[in-house]
Amino acid sequence: MAARDLPGQYPQMDDALHLALRHQLEHRREVLGEALAKTQGTQLMQLLHEVDAALERLEGGSYGICERCHESVEDSRLLADPLVRFCLDHLGQKEQEALEKDLELAAQIQSRLLPARDFRCDGWQVAYYYKPLGVVSGDYCDLIIGPAQQLYFIVGDVSGKGIAGSMLMSNLSAIFRALIPLGLPLAELMYRANSIFTGSTLPTQFATLICGRAQAGGELELCSAGHVPALVVSEDSVRELESHGLPLGLFAEQRFTSSAFEMARGTSLVLFSDGISEAHAEDEDYGYDRLAEAVARCAGQVPAEVVANCVRDLESFLGGAPRFDDQTLMVVQRRS
Ligand SMILES: [Zn+2]
C-alpha cells in the first residue's frame, strides 16, 4: 500500500466542503445508475467506477490529495469536478490538454473582439499594440464608429489578469458596443457603462478606462475613469492629460466629466495601459516621459510606424527583463 493510501496523515478537509463533495458524488452515482439501467455503455461504467473510487477515497481520508505531490487539490477545482485527482501543477495529460484547449479558445474569442489593426476614418488614423501577459489579456482596446461617423476609441485595464480579466474585458466590450450607437453625450455614456458594469462585477473588481470621441473636423473629447494619463504629442510639445474620475465598477451612481479640445493635424494622442508605463527593468519604470520621447521622435510617421517604434523602444528598455502585466498602446492621429 502506498503511503498516500493511509488515512489520518492528510490535511483535514473542511466539513462543509466534505459534505458538499459527498452530495455531488452521490448525486452523480444516482444519475449514472439510472442511465445504466436504461442503457449499458462502457463509458458510463468507467464513470461509475471513477465516482465509486472517489467516494472510497472520501471515506478513507485520501480524497482531495494530489496523487503526484500529495498536497491538497484546489477546493474550487474539486467543486467544479469532484473527480479530479491531481493539483493544478500535476494535471494528467488529458486534463492538461483540455485546459490548454480551453485557453486557446478563450484567446481566439478575445482576438475576435479586437478592432482592425490599421484603422482609418474621416480625418483620423489609429494603430495599436495589444500584448497579453499570458494567453488572454485583461486590457480592453476598442475602436467603434458611432452615429454621424464619429470615431470612439477606448483603452482600459481591468483588475486582474488571465481568464477572469478577459471575461471582464469582454463584458466591457459588449457594454460599449451596445451603448455607443445611442449617440449619448460622452459623460452620459460613461455613466451608463459604469452602472451596467458595476451591476455585473464582484465587489473587488473594477476597470480603469479612457473613452474618447473624435470628429472629422479635429474636435476631440475625452473621459477618463481613473486611468493612467493620456499623452498629446506633437513635433515640438508633449501634454499629459491627467485622469479625473474613479474607475468603473465601484459605485453605480458615479458621474463623470469629459474634456474637449482641438487636435492639430499630425498630432498624436497616445493611450496606454500601465503595463507599458510601469514596465520595469533594473529598478526603473519605463514611465510616461520615455514613452512621450519615443512618440515625439516619430514626427511625421503614420500611427502603425509610431506604435512599432514605441514597442521597439520599450523592448530595448526592458533588455529581455520579464513583463509582469498585459500591455496595450494606442496611437490616435489626426491626419495631415
Ligand atoms: Zn500535485
Q: What is d(CA 140, CA 158) in angstroms, rounded to the nearest whole number?
A: 8
How far, in Å, from the CA of 71 to the mean position of ligand 1? 6
How far, in Å, from the CA of 63 to the mean position of ligand 1? 13
- Measuring CA to CA, which residue among 59, 54, 56 is closest to residue 28? 54
How far, in Å, from the CA of 253 to the mean position of ligand 1? 46
How far, in Å, from the CA of 163 to the mean position of ligand 1? 22
How far, in Å, from the CA of 72 to the mean position of ligand 1? 8
How far, in Å, from the CA of 86 to the mean position of ligand 1? 5
**pLDDT exceeding 90 applies to what percent of the chain?**
64
The stretch 182-201 carries a mean pLDDT of: 96
Q: Which three cell numbers stand for residue 248?
A: 468603473
Residues 6+ apart with CB under 8 A from 65: 4, 10, 11, 71, 72, 73
Per-residue confidence (pLDDT) for residue 174, from 0 to 100? 97
How far, in Å, from the CA of 322 to the mean position of ligand 1? 26
Per-residue confidence (pLDDT) for residue 10, from 0 to 100? 57
Q: Which three cell numbers stand for residue 10?
A: 492528510
How far, in Å, from the CA of 53 to the mean position of ligand 1? 19
How far, in Å, from the CA of 13 to the mean position of ligand 1? 16
How far, in Å, from the CA of 69 to the mean position of ligand 1? 4
How far, in Å, from the CA of 83 to the mean position of ligand 1? 15
Q: What is the DSSP letter of 245?
A: S
Per-residue confidence (pLDDT) for residue 316, from 0 to 100? 96
SS3 at position 272: strand
Per-residue confidence (pLDDT) for residue 9, from 0 to 100? 52
How far, in Å, from the CA of 68 to the mean position of ligand 1? 5
How far, in Å, from the CA of 311 to the mean position of ligand 1? 38
How far, in Å, from the CA of 74 to the mean position of ligand 1? 10
The stretch 96-122 carries a mean pLDDT of: 90
How far, in Å, from the CA of 66 to the mean position of ligand 1? 5
Provide the pLDDT confidence category of residue 208 given band limits of 50, 70 and 90: very high
How far, in Å, from the CA of 70 to the mean position of ligand 1? 6
How far, in Å, from the CA of 67 to the mean position of ligand 1? 7
pTM above 0.85, yes or no: no
In the predicted structure, residue 211 carries a pLDDT above the cut 60: yes
Q: What is d(CA 280, CA 277) in angstroms, rounded to the nearest whole number?
A: 8
How far, in Å, from the CA of 65 to the mean position of ligand 1? 8
Per-residue confidence (pLDDT) for residue 169, from 0 to 100? 95
How far, in Å, from the CA of 96 to the mean position of ligand 1? 13
Cα→Cα distances 291→2, 200, 294, 331, Å: 59, 34, 5, 12
Per-residue confidence (pLDDT) for residue 124, from 0 to 100? 96
**pLDDT exceeding 70 applies to what percent of the chain?**
96
- Measuring CA to CA, which residue among 176, 175, 178, 188 is closest to residue 255? 188
Q: How far apart are the first and last CA of the chain?
A: 78
- Measuring CA to CA, which residue among 210, 231, 236 is closest to residue 221? 210
SS3 at position 283: coil
Q: What type of residue is 261?
A: F
Q: How crowded is residue 104: how many other Cβ atoms within 10 Å of its Cβ?
A: 12
How far, in Å, from the CA of 91 to the mean position of ligand 1? 8
How far, in Å, from the CA of 93 to the mean position of ligand 1? 13
Q: Which three cell numbers stand for residue 144?
A: 467603434
Q: What is the DSSP letter of 248?
A: B
Strands 268-272, 327-334: parallel, antiparallel or unpaired by DSSP? antiparallel
SS3 at position 63: coil
Q: What is d(CA 39, CA 44) in angstroms, rounded to the nearest whole number?
A: 9
Count how many Cα atoms sit within 13 Å of the Cα of residue 146 in the half-sphere of its side chain: 25
Provide the pLDDT confidence category of residue 283 given band limits of 50, 70 and 90: confident
How far, in Å, from the CA of 144 to the mean position of ligand 1? 46
- Measuring CA to CA, which residue among 243, 317, 326 is closest to residue 283? 317
How far, in Å, from the CA of 92 to the mean position of ligand 1? 10
How far, in Å, from the CA of 125 to the mean position of ligand 1? 50
Provide the pLDDT confidence category of residue 159 given band limits of 50, 70 and 90: confident
Whether 140 contacts 153, CB under 8 Å: no
Q: What is d(CA 325, CA 322) in angstroms, rounded to the nearest whole number?
A: 10
Burial class (CB in 10 A: 0-12, 13-18, 19+), 56: exposed
Whether 138 contacts 166, CB under 8 Å: yes
Mean model confidence pLDDT for the chain: 90
Listed in sequence order, the DSSP H helices in 237-322 are 274-277, 287-296, 303-318
CA dihedral over 151, 157, 163, 164, signed as positive or negative:
negative
SS3 at position 311: helix
